[in-house]
Amino acid sequence: MQQRLPSLLPHQILFAHRGARAHAPENTLEAFELGLRLGANGLESDVWVTADGVPVLDHDGEIKSGWLRKRPIGELKRSELPEHIPSLLELFDRCGTDYELSLDLKDEHAGPVVIETIRLHHPDMLGRTWLCHWELPTLLSLRPLDADVKLVDSTRLHRLDGGPERRAAMLADHGIDAINMRGPDWTGGLVTLFHRFERAAFSWDLQHDHELDNALRMGVDGVYSDHVDRMSDAAARLA
C-alpha cells in the first residue's frame, strides 16, 4: 500500500461537486445543504452573472425560453431565472460560510463580481473561496483585486507547456494558489513537486472508492466528487 504523503493544507478539502450531485438535483440549495450534511467541508459550483449583476450558480449558463430557444443567463435579470437556480448570497444564507467554496468562473464578468459580492457581505469568506479558471491571463487579472481570495489554475497535465516544474514556478511567482487537474493526471511525485513550490494540488472527477483513497493518500489538498458519502468515507478511512 502506498505510504500516505502529507498535504500542504492543514485539512484536505472534500468538495461536493455541484452540491451532493449524486444524491440531489445539482446546483440547488438542497444539494449544497445535503453535501455539507453528508460530510463535505467544501462546496463546488459554476458561477455566472445576470444582466442586473447578480452572481448565480448554474452549470450550463442557459435557460430554456419557449420550446427550443435557449437564452444565456447574462441576458436575463435575476428575477427572470427559474427558482431552482440560487444566487451566491442565497447559498450563504442557507448554508452559512463555515466551509471552503470552489467556483468555476464561466462568465467573463464573474471573477470581479464574485470578489466584490463576498467582500461586501461575507468578507471572512474571501480566504476560503477558490476561484477556478482554465486561462491564466484571467486568473492573473484577478490577483490585484484581492490578496486573500484563492486562485486556481484549472488545467490538464498535457497542457502544461514546459512541464510541471515550470508551471509550478510560474504559479508561485504570480500568486496563483493552486492547480486543479483530473484525477488520472496526478501522481504522488507531482503532488510533492507542486507542494515544494507551496502550491495546493486539487483533483477532480473522483467518483469511486479506489480513486478517492489514492488521491487522499498521495497528499492531494482537495478532491471533488459527486458522491459525497464515498468521499467522506474515504477521508474517514485515512484519518
Backbone φ and ψ of 221, nearest 5° = -85, -25
Which residues are CB-neighbours of 232 under 8 A, at least 6 positions away?
A: 14, 38, 39, 40
Q: Assign domain 13-238 to its CATH superfamily.
A: Phosphatidylinositol (PI) phosphodiesterase (3.20.20.190)
Tell me which DSSP letter residue 117 carries. H
What pLDDT sits at residue 69? 82
**∠ CA 136-120-33, rounded to 5°:** 80
What pLDDT sits at residue 64? 81
Record the cell numbers describing residue 142, joined without a space.
484577478
Which residue ranges in the chain fall short of pLDDT 70? Answer: 1-2, 66-68
Helix residue ranges, H only, the chain: 29-37, 88-95, 110-121, 136-142, 164-174, 188-196, 209-217, 228-238
